[in-house]
């Protein structure tokens, strides 16, 4: 199991080790140069106090300018390298998350709404980016500034230096401690952001239904409620965070007072020169700033722990993955079909994940290659679930599913799913041109193959109705098209794949009977060497199939040809009679 934690994050940083090392090294140079500036300023003060001599001051002033220039250049490179690390790491993590998410099974997306996933990939990755940005922008310079300042000031007055560092160190520790406790509060803010994103995404996706039922006011009230909760959590976070944020300034003022009083006494007693006193006053802001940056790094690290915890579920491997079996079939490309299309179900059983018994119970069936097989039965009888086992959308709990005599679990998923075209009842279209929705990544698709698919699906007759024909943007989820048009686009998409197995899962529910009959007639001609599995609610859709299977309560209740089942006078005959009576 993959766990997103700071060690896991460190592995991604390791991929950018050159930029990370460059950031730290240039930070060390910038920190050392910054710490030298107050020391040189003290030399100038002492030399001026002893008597103005421009010639004597020139070397020191020139050195100050050189040190300042070195600091500026080093800080620039530090920020440059830190940007590479922060952006490259979040780029790699985002890529990893996306690639893993598109392999996850349906049950995962039932548990985590789309909007929440987007919030995690956006908001939580932003928290990680901010940690990396401040760490590699300030870590090297902050550490070297503190080390160099302590050594330089300690050589002047170890007592005053110790007092300054102890006081500021205690304040930093307190700030870091309170900042760590705020991480849990911040995590609740992020969680509510996910809730709001999920709700908004859901409402926007179903805005047509929302308006149809006149529920706009109710949706607005619900969003206002979630928004108010988000504001409440943010206010709670800020209420606790602000006192912690004010602490460094309060302690810095206190420390400045200590330096002025104690340093002033030491200066009056001639234990410090005026230049030394100046060094302490100028260095005080450097020490405060460096410690503040370290405290901020610690706080952001704690916040990042919460963000990483929320990213962990997105990293878990899919339950269904490639089997490393040595006899696995290799993918040789889409132009050379890998499979004939013979499908065998051997005593297949699928357990109800909620403990309600078996969803599929001892299903055994052999479907010869190239045959058209129709499936019918009441809603929930297991038709779609049975089809989902072929492409390993889900694996059986018992029994096997074979394709051309080989257990599908030993076939690489890419090869297996490339051999299957699935057309569901609820068609999903992407927000891109109609042509691209049909090709779906097959950019080398020949024009005649596209024309044939459009003709078979009867989508060609609708192109004139669309403002830009095949270049028409179909809108999010195909909102520009009717239900029947979307189903026919999905059928065209399946045809251009030239699959070994075509599964039509109630794919004609929004298509009139005559058009469905015409499409099936052409499909049989084009795919006569392919296996076609048709799930239908209308018996007219499957009556001409080579074989018909009737399912009930997860079992095969009847099977045979149209004539056999009609003569038997069982479930199929009764379903057909009801359909004729209501025609």
CA-CA distance, 413 to 202, in Å (whole number)?
Answer: 30
- Is 280:153 a contact under the CB 8 Å cutoff? yes
Pairing between β-strand 555-560 and β-strand 547-552 as defined by DSSP bridges: antiparallel
3-class DSSP state of 367? strand
Name the band, by pLDDT with cuts 50, 70 and 90, for residue 247.
low
Confidence of residue 508 (pLDDT cuts 50, 70, 90): confident
Contact 345, 519 (CB under 8 A): no
Tokens 């250049």 appear where? 73
Instruction: List CB contacts of 251: < 8 A, sequence separation 6 or more.
Output: 167, 168, 170, 171, 288
Q: What SS3 state is found at 347?
A: strand
pLDDT over 60 at 371, yes or no = yes
Check residue 176 and give its pLDDT: 65
**Tokens representing residue 514 in the block:** 């005559």
Tokens of 376: 């019918």
* Helix (H), strand (E) at residue 159: helix 158-205
Question: Is a pLDDT exceeding 90 seen at residue 363?
Answer: yes
Kindly indicate the confidence band of residue 373, based on its pLDDT and cuts at 50, 70 and 90.
very high
User: Residue 61 has what pLDDT?
Assistant: 84
d(CA 434, CA 452): 15
**Domain span(s) for CATH 3.40.50.300 in the chain:** 343-581
Whole-number pLDDT of residue 548: 94
> 12: closest CA among 370, 304, 271?
304
343-581 is classed CATH 3.40.50.300? yes
Q: CA-CA distances (angstroms) from residue 517 to 247, 537, 544, 545?
A: 77, 14, 10, 12
Return d(Cα 235, Cα 230) in angstroms, integer. 9
pLDDT score recorded for residue 83? 93
pLDDT digits (tens, 9 = 90+) for 374-413: 999 988 899 999 999 999 988 999 999 999 999 999 999 8
Q: What is the pLDDT of residues 196-216, one digit of tens each?
A: 888 887 777 777 667 766 778
Contact 556/363 with Cβ under 8 angstroms?
Answer: yes
For residue 378, with 0-12 CB atoms within 10 Å meaning exposed, 13-18 middle and 19 or more buried, which class applies? middle
More confident residue, 169 or 111: 111
Q: Where are the alpha helices (DSSP H) in 16-105?
A: 17-50, 54-101
Q: Which CATH number applies to 6-315? A: 1.20.1560.10
Q: Boundaries of CATH 1.20.1560.10 in the chain?
A: 6-315
- Whole-model pTM? 0.75
């Amino acid at each position: 199991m993959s766990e997103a934690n700071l060690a896991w994050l460190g592995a991604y940083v390791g991929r950018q080790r050159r930029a990370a090392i460059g950031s730290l090294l240039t930070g060390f140079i910038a920190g050392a140069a910054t710490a030298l500036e107050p020391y040189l300023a003290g030399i100038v003060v002492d030399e001026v106090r002893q008597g103005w001599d421009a010639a004597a001051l020139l070397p020191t002033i020139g050195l100050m300018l050189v040190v300042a220039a070195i600091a500026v250049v080093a800080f620039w490179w530090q920020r440059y390298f830190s940007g590479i690390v922060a952006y490259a790491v979040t780029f790699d993590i985002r890529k990893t998350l996306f690639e893993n998410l598109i392999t996850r099974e349906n049950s995962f997306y039932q548990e985590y709404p789309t909007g929440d996933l987007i919030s995690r990939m956006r908001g939580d990755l932003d928290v990680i980016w901010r940690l990396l940005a401040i760490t590699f922008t300030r870590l090297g310079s902050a550490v070297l500034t503190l080390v160099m300042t302590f050594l330089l000031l300690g050589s002047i007055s170890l007592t005053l230096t110790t007092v300054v560092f102890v006081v500021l160190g205690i304040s930093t520790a307190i700030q870091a401690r309170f900042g760590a406790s705020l991480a849990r509060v911040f995590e609740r803010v992020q969680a509510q952001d996910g809730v709001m994103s999920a709700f908004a995404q859901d409402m926007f996706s179903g805005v047509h239904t929302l308006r149809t039922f006149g529920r706009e006011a109710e949706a607005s009230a619900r969003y206002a409620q979630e928004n108010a909760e988000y504001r409440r959590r943010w206010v709670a976070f800020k209420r606790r965070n602000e006192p912690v944020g004010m602490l460094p300034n309060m302690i810095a003022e206190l420390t400045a007072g200590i330096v002025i009083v104690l340093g002033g006494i030491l200066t009056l007693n001639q234990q410090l020169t005026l230049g030394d006193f100046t060094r302490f006053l100028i260095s005080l802001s450097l020490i405060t700033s460096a410690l503040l940056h370290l405290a901020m790094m610690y706080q952001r690290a704690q916040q990042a722990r919460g963000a990483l915890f929320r990213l962990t579920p997105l990293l878990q491997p899919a339950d269904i993955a490639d089997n490393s079996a040595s006899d696995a079939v290799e993918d040789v490309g889409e132009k050379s079909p890998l499979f004939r299309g013979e499908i065998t179900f051997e005593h297949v059983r699928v357990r109800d994940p909620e403990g309600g018994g078996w969803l599929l119970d001892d299903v055994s069936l052999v479907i010869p290659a190239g045959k058209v097989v129709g499936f019918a039965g009441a809603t929930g009888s297991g038709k779609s679930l049975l089809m989902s086992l072929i492409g390993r959308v889900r694996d059986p709990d018992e029994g096997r599913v074979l394709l051309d005599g080989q257990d599908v679990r030993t076939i690489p998923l890419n090869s297996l799913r490339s051999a299957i075209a699935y057309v569901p009842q609820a068609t999903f279209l992407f927000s891109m041109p109609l042509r691209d929705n049909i090709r779906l990544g097959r950019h080398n698709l020949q024009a005649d193959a596209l024309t044939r698919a459009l003709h078979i699906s009867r989508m060609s007759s609708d192109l004139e109705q669309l403002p830009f024909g095949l270049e028409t943007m179909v809108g999010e989820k195909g909102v520009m098209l009717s239900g029947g048009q979307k189903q026919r686009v999905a059928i065209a998409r399946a045809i251009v794949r030239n699959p070994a197995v075509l599964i039509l899962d109630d794919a004609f529910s929004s298509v009139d009977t005559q058009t469905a009959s015409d499409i099936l007639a052409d499909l049989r001609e084009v795919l006569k060497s392919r296996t076609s599995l048709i799930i239908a609610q209308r018996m007219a859709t499957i009556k001409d199939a080579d074989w018909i299977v009737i399912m009930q309560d997860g079992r095969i209740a009847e099977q045979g040809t149209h004539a056999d089942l009609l003569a038997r006078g069982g479930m199929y005959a009764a379903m057909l009679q009801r359909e004729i009576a209501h025609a």
